[in-house]
Amino acid sequence: MSRIAYVNGRYCPHNGAAIHIEDRGYQFADAVYEVCGIRDGKMLDEEAHLNRLDWSLGELEIPWPMTRSALQVTMREVIRRNRVRHGMIYLQVSRGRARRAHSYSAHMNPALVITATSTPRPQNAQVLPQPVSVITQPDIRWQRVDIKTVALLPNSMARHAADNVGCREAWLINAEGKVTEGSSSNAWIVDQQNRVRTHPTNGRILNGTVRQALIRLAKQEGIEVSEIAFTPQEAYEAKEAFLTSSNALVQPINQIDGHKIGNASQNEISQQLWRAYYIENQIAP
């Protein structure tokens, strides 16, 4: 079955989907996006994604392309038409089409694109994935990464650097020498006091939807969470390290810059949070 995309009011074959060459998302990265995981045909953290979309659009003063409820109906229709049971849905809202100029009108029609992609289902959804390795890279992004824009060139370059040395992800280091987040994920460690630590939401990271869920679930599980930034050295010395994203959910890390993290065969807190997330979302094993 050929894939189906939604573009500005039309469902069309994915291979023929297109926007105008003067769309500001293409020329100025003047657009925001969301990626929502799909398990058993259901969108994960749907409300959190839409809340963050509302935040991003509001910060850039881009109007919603349709009502929230209409967008939810459209997203479900894209999933249905592509017969996705396990995978992800991507939506992008740009400020719209206009003659190329740095300034823009306050009365533009936003452009909306939605696609859905199937991915293989894990053999055992309740078993923590195999650990991966990461490297560190300088954080050279703009100062409002809390807005989920499509301006991802620095992220892409960091991820490419990781790929070149056989690593899954790159953790970004700010001017103060602290880990902010990954190129496409949030960064976490479990320190020697068994505290789960991750960078605070102060404009220097994207407040991931899985991140939000895990902070809430950790409190329910009696796990202490400290939103305190950590250094690469603290990460090297951690008991556990892991990343979270809408795609990976919870992914343990066994090496950072070649330093082995804790006991690679024991990721007890990561495992506890992974199971709590799966149980809450009623994801079948």
Indicate which residues carry an active-site annotation. Answer: 148
Q: CA-to-CA distance for 114 and 89, rounded, in angstroms?
A: 7
Q: CA-to-CA distance for 152 and 145, rounded, in angstroms?
A: 10
Q: 47, exposed or middle or buried, with CB in 10 Å at 0-12, 13-18, 19+?
A: exposed
Q: What is the CA radius of gyration of the chain?
A: 19
- Of 108, 74, 104, nearest to 91 by C-alpha is 74
Strands 259-260 and 249-256: antiparallel
Tokens of 220: 């329910």
Q: CA-to-CA distance for 209 and 249, rounded, in angstroms?
A: 10
Q: What is the maximum alpha-carbon separation in the chain? A: 57
Tokens of 148: 């989920």
- Of 79, 100, 84, nearest to 11 by C-alpha is 79
Find the distance separating the first CA and the last CA of the chain, reported in whole Å: 27
